[in-house]
Structures are given as C-alpha cells and as structure tokens.
Amino acid sequence: MNDTLPPAPSPHRPVRWLLPLAALAVLGAGGYAGYHYWQKQQSDQLAQAQTTAVQLKGLEATVEALRRDQRAASQRLQDAATTNRVLRDEMLGLSQRSALLEENLAKLADSANQGRQAVQRDEAELLLTQAAQRLAFADDVEGSRRLYALAATALADLPDSDGLNLRQALVQERNALDALGAGPRVQSLQRLDALGKALQGLPSQIAQTPADNTAKPWWQAALAPFVDITPSRLNGPLTSAERTTIDTALQLELTLARAAIERGDGSGRDAALNRIDLWAQRRWPDSPDLRAQRAELHALRTLPLQADNTVLGSTLQQLRTQTDRR
C-alpha cells in the first residue's frame, strides 16, 4: 500500500479561471448596460418622434387655421374695399347734392335778402312820406322826428352801395328838423297866447301926468276940472257893456287866428290879427304897452306857418330815384 498523498493543488490555478469569468461578467454587465442604454435611447427617440409628430400636427392645424383666417381677412378686405367704393360713390353723390343745396340756399338767401331790402325801402319811403305830410299839413315836428327815427332804423341794414348816401342825407335832414325847434306854427301859437294874456293885462284908463297937462292947450287945461275931452276916433268913453262886447270880439278873433295858424292859413291869420289890432285900439287907450303889443301883432303877421328848408325831403327824393332806377 502506497501511503503516498496526492500532490497539493497549486495556489495560482483558481485565479486563472476566475479572470475569464470576471472578464465575462464585466462584458455581460457592459453589454447589458449598453443594451439598456440602447433601449432607453430608442424609447426616447420614439417618444421624441411621437412628440414631434404631435407638434407637427399642431403646427399644421395652426397653419391651416391661419390660412382660413387669412382667407377670411382677405374676403373681409375685399368686402371692405367694395363697401368703401360704394360709400365713396355715395359721398360723391352727397357732395354733389350738398353743392346743389348750397347753391339753391344761396339763391334763396339772395332772393330773401333782396325781398327784405325791398320791404325796408318801402317802409322807409312810407315813413318819410308820412313825416313830410305831417310837416306840410299839421306842422307836427315832434311826430316827424319819431317817423324819421323809424326810417333811420329801416335804412340801417341796407348795404353801403345803396344805403350810405341815404343814411347821410337822413342825418342832415334830421339835423335840419331839430333846428326847427317846436315848429313855426307852435311858435306862432305860443306868441299869440302870450299876446292875448298881455292884452288882458293892459289898463283900461291911464292917469295923466303933469307933463301931459302942460302939453295940453290952455282951454283944455281950463276945462279939465269940469270935463275930460278925448278924441272919439281913438278912445271914446266905453260903457261896461261895450267893454264886454269888445272883449268877446277879441277872444273870438284870437280863436280865429289860432285856427288859421293851426291849418296854415296865412291870409286868414293876417285878417284875424288886423281885426285884433282894430279892437285893441278901440278897447284900450294909447300907451307904450299897447304900442308894444301892436308891434307884436305886426311881427306875428310876418312869421312863416310852414317849415321852409331845402334839406327837408331830400332823403325821400333820393330813395324814390333809386327805386325808379331798379
């Protein structure tokens, strides 16, 4: 019996087997990691492709929506352009109609203005005619002034080509009318009234002064204590009834003189004033006061009874001349 033991294994033999196994393990692990990475990369690429496809579809839908919006906008623009053309045509038509309306309105305004000016001319002519008639027939200076003021208002709106000369003539005529004062007839009536009051204040008898006695002849001075001799052709002694009759006649003649002055009757006024002069000499004795009133009677006979001014009536004449030229 062989009591020998097998040889002991070498300590380096297991290492030789472990190295290939370790290499295989490393390779397997690397391959698995690579495969896993490849799988993951494939899944990521697939997911990315799906996402890209979804985004592409979204973009296509957006582009299609934009195209639809563009087509709708183009259609709206075309409609707007058509509407603008229609509106432009309508505006042109409205402009032409507005021009025609303005032309017609201008013609109407011109016609209305001419009509208004014609009415103002007629009104001014009527007022000036009435003023001239008041002066000629009634010597109503105050009424004529009011009518001239109304005529000035009527002529104020006339254009300068026609109204300037009329307004200037009217101003001159109104100044001439103001210079008349109350009017010749009113002034004559005022002086006649003052004359009537002055006549009533004359004394019926005049006391003789010593100078009058010395001027008398000797036989009148001798008979003076017994009798008073006065010339009968001038002032005879008047009874109370005679004085009353003369006073009544004087009042009647004064009334007749007033009526003649008011109607502008110069001959009637002069006749009444002459009779007043005769009755005054019959009623009152000769005195300086009586002579002064007789001088006033003579002055009254010379006063005009109607305004005599060449300026008065000039505006009416110019207005009628312009009307005839039209």
**Sign of the C-alpha dihedral computed for residues 283, 289, 293 and 294 taken in this order:** positive
| 8 A C-beta contact, residue 125 and residue 320 | yes
Give the C-alpha separation, 96 to 117, whole Å. 31
| 8 A C-beta contact, residue 145 and residue 176 | no
Q: Which residue has the tokens 């027939």?
A: 137
pLDDT, one tens digit for every residue, the chain (326 residues)? 445 555 555 555 555 667 667 767 777 677 777 777 888 888 888 888 888 888 888 888 899 999 888 888 888 888 888 888 888 888 888 888 888 878 777 777 666 666 777 888 888 888 889 888 888 787 788 888 899 899 888 888 787 777 788 888 888 888 888 888 777 888 889 999 999 999 888 887 765 555 444 555 666 666 655 555 554 444 456 788 888 999 999 999 999 999 998 888 889 999 999 999 999 998 888 888 899 999 999 999 988 887 776 678 888 888 888 777 76
Distance of CA 208 to the CA centre of its chain: 74
Q: Which residue has the tokens 């996402």?
A: 51
pLDDT of 232: 44
Whether pTM > 0.85 for this model: the answer is no
For the stretch 271-276, contacts whose Cβ atoms lie closer than 8 Å and that sit 24 or more positions apart, written own/partner, are: 273/297, 273/300, 273/301, 275/249, 276/250
Quote the tokens at residue 1. Answer: 């019996």
| 8 A C-beta contact, residue 183 and residue 145 | no
| 8 A C-beta contact, residue 200 and residue 246 | no
For the stretch 94-99, contacts whose Cβ atoms lie closer than 8 Å and that sit 24 or more positions apart, written own/partner, are: none
Quote the tokens at residue 74. Answer: 């183009």
Residues with Cβ < 8 Å from 243, sequence gap 6 or more? 204, 283
| 8 A C-beta contact, residue 120 and residue 154 | yes
Crossing angle (nearest 10°) for helices 240-262 and 266-283: 160
pLDDT of 48: 86
